[in-house]
């Protein structure tokens, strides 16, 4: 699975999403860093402005990302349609829904995702769209990929690609419009997925989503290696197909910790 990654740096006019992530309940995870209008590096401008259409966002964590099954981290409680309605009524326009696909996917080819779990994720997304919310869908807690030896990384990359292939089939543009659903490739790459590995994976997955699955209009959200921190931004190398209209760069920031984790 050899991929040539373009040396195109990330910082050529991309929109940045500045995320504050906490561990429990609902909290803001996609508020933009619009207060720092711009900063420069190597004579190039970094635009940190709100992604068009996303607006004020919140993270719906600890449910579909829970280990084993939905409810494992929430005392048995599952997401309900009224949760999405309540989020919209509180003034939010976007919800990020972390999903632990790897717990519901075969470990060997063809890496089939459990049909009941896929249907459940679709149900939650349908509720969000009915509530007039935009949705960020990601691959969350793929711990095996990060924690196992790099010797196993080629197989995990193949499995991750298979997961995204199935997501594309389940979330087509005609049912989940490009302006309403954003695909976030992988949450907080770390461990075996270093900077170089992550850049190669970005190239693979963007080609898979935009070209192979003919979702060229789908916006893709891309985080950074080394746990999604801001320090990894300048190590991103994006394919030439990435531009301001189809790519959102995101990083996670936890300081001050007592504020971001007060949920």
- The enclosing domain of 75 has a CATH number of 3.20.20.80
Query: Above pLDDT 70, what percent of the chain?
Result: 80
Residues of the domain holding 201: 15-260
Q: Would you give the distance in Å from CA 120 to the centre of its chain? A: 18
| 247 strand-pairing partners | 220
pLDDT 10s digits, 64-117: 999 999 999 999 999 999 999 999 999 999 999 999 999 999 999 999 999 999
Is the residue at 250 inside a domain? yes
Per the CB < 8 A criterion, the answer to whether 142 and 200 are in contact is no
Domain tally, the chain: 1
Is the residue at 119 inside a domain? yes
Rounded Cα distance between 76 and 63, Å, is 9
Rounded Cα distance between 183 and 103, Å, is 19
Is the residue at 145 inside a domain? yes
pLDDT 10s digits, 170-223: 999 999 999 899 999 999 999 999 999 999 999 999 999 999 999 999 999 999
Is the residue at 226 inside a domain? yes
Is the residue at 7 inside a domain? no
Query: In the predicted model, what is the mean pLDDT of the chain?
Result: 86
Is the residue at 209 inside a domain? yes
Is the residue at 113 inside a domain? yes
How much is the pTM?
Answer: 0.84
């Amino acid at each position: 699975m050899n991929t040539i990654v373009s040396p195109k740096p990330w910082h050529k006019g991309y929109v940045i999403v500045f995320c504050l992530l906490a561990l429990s309940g609902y909290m803001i995870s996609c508020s933009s860093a619009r207060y720092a209008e711009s900063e420069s590096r190597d004579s190039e401008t970094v635009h940190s402005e709100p992604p068009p259409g996303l607006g004020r966002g919140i993270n719906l964590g600890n449910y579909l990302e829970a280990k084993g099954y939905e409810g494992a981290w929430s005392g048995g409680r599952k997401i309900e349609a009224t949760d999405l309605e309540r989020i919209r009524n509180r003034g939010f326009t976007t919800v990020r829904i972390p999903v632990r696909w790897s717990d519901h996917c075969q470990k060997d080819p063809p890496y089939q995702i459990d049909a009941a779990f896929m249907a459940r994720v679709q149900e939650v997304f349908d509720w969000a769209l009915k509530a007039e919310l935009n949705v960020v869908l990601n691959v969350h807690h793929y711990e095996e990929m990060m924690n196992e030896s790099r010797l196993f990384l080629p197989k995990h990359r193949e499995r991750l690609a298979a997961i995204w292939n199935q997501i594309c089939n389940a979330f087509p543009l005609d049912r989940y419009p490009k302006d309403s659903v954003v695909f976030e490739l992988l949450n907080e790459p770390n461990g075996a997925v270093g900077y170089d590995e992550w850049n190669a994976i970005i190239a693979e997955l963007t080609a898979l989503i935009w070209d192979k699955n003919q979702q060229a209009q789908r916006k893709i959200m891309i985080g950074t290696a080394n746990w999604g921190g801001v320090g990894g931004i300048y190590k991103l190398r994006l394919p030439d197909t990435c531009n301001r209209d189809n790519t959102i760069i995101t990083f996670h920031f936890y300081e001050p910790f007592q504020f971001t984790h007060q949920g």
